[in-house]
Amino acid sequence: MIVFIMVNIIYIVPLSHRRCKMPNQSDWEAKAANILKSQLKLKGVSYAKLAELIGDKEPNVRNKLSRGKFSAAYLFQCLNSLGVSDLRLG
């Protein structure tokens, strides 16, 4: 059994469902970046403001989101700083 935890949402996927094609790593990176970008847009927060909220520099935030290369901890930090407590996936 595989368990995915995203903010307050827990998905449990039986191993029998692993037979279907799973997205590759870059697909997951793009999904994570798109989730964060959509939350920024919904909250009306710019990259510069997000950088200020999390104590980072705007170019670093912009690069991480454009590449989709950031940790789950970074994603949670950003979502928390935006005041996101619940997130619906899919």
Write the pLDDT tens digit of every residue in 9-54: 555 555 555 555 666 768 889 999 999 999 999 999 999 999 999 9
In DSSP terms, which residues pair with 10 in a beta bridge?
A: 5
In this prediction the pTM is 0.71
Residue with the bigger pLDDT between 23 and 65: it is 65
> pLDDT at position 3, please?
47
Distances (CA, A) of 79 to 14, 21, 67: 28, 29, 18
**pLDDT for residue 2 is more than 70:** no
Joined tokens for residue 61: 């935030």
Give 29: exposed, middle or buried? Use CB within 10 Å, 0-12, 13-18, 19+: middle
Collapsing DSSP to helix, strand or coil, 20 comes out as coil
Give me the domains of the chain, ranges plus CATH numbers: 21-90 (1.10.260.40)
